[in-house]
Structure 1
Amino acid sequence: MKIDLTDTTAGAIDRALTQGRRAIGTPAVGMVLTMVIVTDEENAHDAIKAAEDASHEHPSRTLVVIKRHTRAHRAQDGCRLDAEVRVGSEAGTGETVVLRMYGEVSQHADSVVLPLLLPDAPVVVWWPVDAPDNPSKDPLGALAQRRITDLYTVENPMEILEKRVRTYAPGDTDLSWTRLTLWRSMLAAALDQARMKVTSAVVEAEADNPAAELLARWLQARLGVRAHRVVSDGPAVTTVRLGTAAGEIVIDRPDGPVATLTLPGQPRRTLALKVRSTAELIAEELRRLDADEMYAIALRGGGTKESPVHV
């Protein structure tokens, strides 16, 4: 069910949500959190689709904030709030409100969003693009227990990564870090099997890949060795090599969903290591809403200041 509201208010939107739930016979009590997506018109469709897919695991109220420029609109459109309310099959397993804000309304998005938050439920804010320099100090970010950004969408990811180091606050995370979950799990499992002291680490990935930098910093912080970056053809992270006295521990994924694991003195084996969708990444982030201490460790892991070596 869809309800379109033009030149509306937060109170009218809340009443429309109640009307929609009554019409389809669905209560709000099954929803576990409020997801606030701050995006532009171009990226809104993909972000909403990802959130709706993730809602099958985490039923939620999704508030999509789209700030519109008024230059291309009539003068009377200069300060306005339009909304599209979706409930039932139109909104995954939760409910979705698309908020289009014009003029001064867009400067006070938190005042519009605040009355629409589910009472006594956690709040997560996700910026698919154009995240603020300091997410925890952003007016919408300040409402949230969890703040999700994505370094893959910025023009200079290494520069923005250093800003994230300086502005980190508990609750901050980034999808470039979430993309590493399978890599980190398999590296930890490999070290459990090998039981050898690691003396060196190398991460091979495409140039300026923020996930590769975070992985190198995490290895450096956790293993106490210098983690070097090597530029490969990609895509994303392709290989991790951990040096030991008995030989190298290697996880290699040049392309596709399959990787190979090589341990000293053992036969090579095949691992499933697929590139996950945005919906899968968001669903993972919603499974825990406390501070991600490992992300903080990776951010502040010392970094690899030398330029990556090209192969």
Structure 2
Amino acid sequence: MIEILPSSTTSQISSKLAQAHAERGEASQGRVLTLLVSTSERELENVLATAIQASQEHPSRVIAIVTDRTEAPDMTTLPAVAVGTVAPLDAEIRLGSDGGAGEVIVLRPAESLLRHLDTLVLPLLVPDAPVVAWWSSSTPASPSTSLLGSMTRSRITDAQMTADPMATFLTLREHHTVEETDLAWTRLTVWRGLLAALVDEPPHTEIQSVTVRGNSHSLSVDLLGAWLAWALKVPVSFEVDEHVSAVRGVVFHRTDGDSVIERPSDASSDLFITKPGQMKQTISVPHRTLGDCMTEELRRLDPDEIYNAVLTEGWDMISHDHWTTQR
């Protein structure tokens, strides 16, 4: 069910949502968190599909704020909104199959309201539930001090999806707090698990250095290299492969030969593992979706100490020259 609320106020949205819950015999107190999403009109439906997928495990109230509304309604016909000024706010409420295991509120504030997002969103939060913010593309320089981020327990960015991923990521790193993470790191969860298992398997011969293979403009490649440098305390170099979109593979250079784990192409769901003196192994590892990554992040709202260490220590242990020289 989708209910359109043109020229609305937060009070009207709350009343309509309460009425809909009463008619359906539901209670908003069953929501485990509120997910605030800053997005664009073009990305809205894909972002909501991701949030709804994640809500199957984490029943949530999703509040999506469309930040690029450009229409200019007739101001004389619009009511005063919650922030006390006459400004337009269009909204939608989505429930049932359109709202996942929770509900979705879509806000389309005019530009004047974008300067008061905290006041706009506050009445719509689920009481006594943690609040998480997700910026699906463009991100503030300092999420923790932004209007949305300042009211949240956890903040999720996706620097890879911005116009200049590395510049965005470096700015985020400069203002990083332990409550923040980036999906470029989350996309590495399976890789990190497989690499940790490979290191732990006998024979435990010394790892002298590591080579990471992947796209020269993937933040995940750099973060994987930074994690390996931090965890193993060995030199890490990069081998550029522009035929893949992110990580292609990792080579552990050991005293008795190379141990290699790699995916032959983006189209393949298989990974090949090669170790000295052993037959090549093949394991099936499907690509992670954006929904998989968001579900993981909503499952863990506590600070990620490993990610924090990679940013503060590991990032400076590797060279990022491949990012600029291959441009």
TM-score by length of 1: 0.95
Instruction: Give 1:296's aligned residue.
Output: 308
Matches within 5 A, 1:183-222: 183-194=191-202, 195-222=204-231
Matches within 5 A, 1:38-57: 38-57=38-57
* 8 A contact 1:251–1:260 mirrored in 2: yes
Give the CA deviation at 1:164: 2.3
Query: Which of 112, 117, 120 is 1:112 aligned to?
Result: 120
Q: Secondary structure at the match of 2:199?
A: helix
Aligned CA distance change for structure 1 residues 306 and 101 (closer, same or farther; 3 Å): closer
* 8 A contact 1:17–1:87 mirrored in 2: no
Query: Which of 249, 252, 259 is 1:239 aligned to?
Result: 249
Give the CA deviation at 1:104: 1.2
Whether 1:7 and 2:7 are equivalent positions in the alignment is yes
Measured in 1, the distance between the counterparts of 2:300 and 2:97 equals 26
Give the CA deviation at 1:67: 2.2
Identity of aligned residues (%): 36
Q: Which runs of structure 1 show a deviation greater than 4 angstroms over 4 or more consecutive aligned residues?
A: none
Instruction: Give 2:83's aligned residue.
Output: none
Whether 1:92 and 2:100 are equivalent positions in the alignment is yes
Give structure 2 stretches of 5+ with no counterpart: 79-85
Which one-letter code corresponds to 1:49 in the other structure? A
Which one-letter code corresponds to 1:97 in the other structure? I
Instruction: Give 1:225's aligned residue.
Output: 234
Measured in 2, the distance between the counterparts of 1:15 and 1:223 equals 55
Measured in 1, the distance between the counterparts of 2:17 and 2:166 equals 42
* 8 A contact 1:32–1:59 mirrored in 2: yes
Measured in 2, the distance between the counterparts of 1:163 and 1:74 equals 36
* 8 A contact 1:257–1:272 mirrored in 2: yes
Give the CA deviation at 1:48: 0.4
Instruction: Give 1:307's aligned residue.
Output: 321
Instruction: Give 2:293's aligned residue.
Output: 281
Instruction: Give 2:152's aligned residue.
Output: 144
What is the RMSD computed on CA atoms of the aligned residues? 1.6
Measured in 2, the distance between the counterparts of 1:272 and 1:296 equals 30
Query: Which of 269, 276, 280 is 1:257 aligned to?
Result: 269
Give structure 1 stretches of 5+ with no counterpart: none
Give the CA deviation at 1:209: 0.7
* 8 A contact 2:69–2:108 mirrored in 1: no
Query: Which deviations, in whole Å up to 9, do the C-alpha atoms of 1:199-221 show, x marking residues without a partner?
Result: 10111111211000000000000
Worse-superposed segment, 115-124 or 300-309: 300-309
Measured in 2, the distance between the counterparts of 1:280 and 1:54 equals 7
Which one-letter code corresponds to 1:305 in the other structure? S
Q: Secondary structure at the match of 1:202?
A: strand
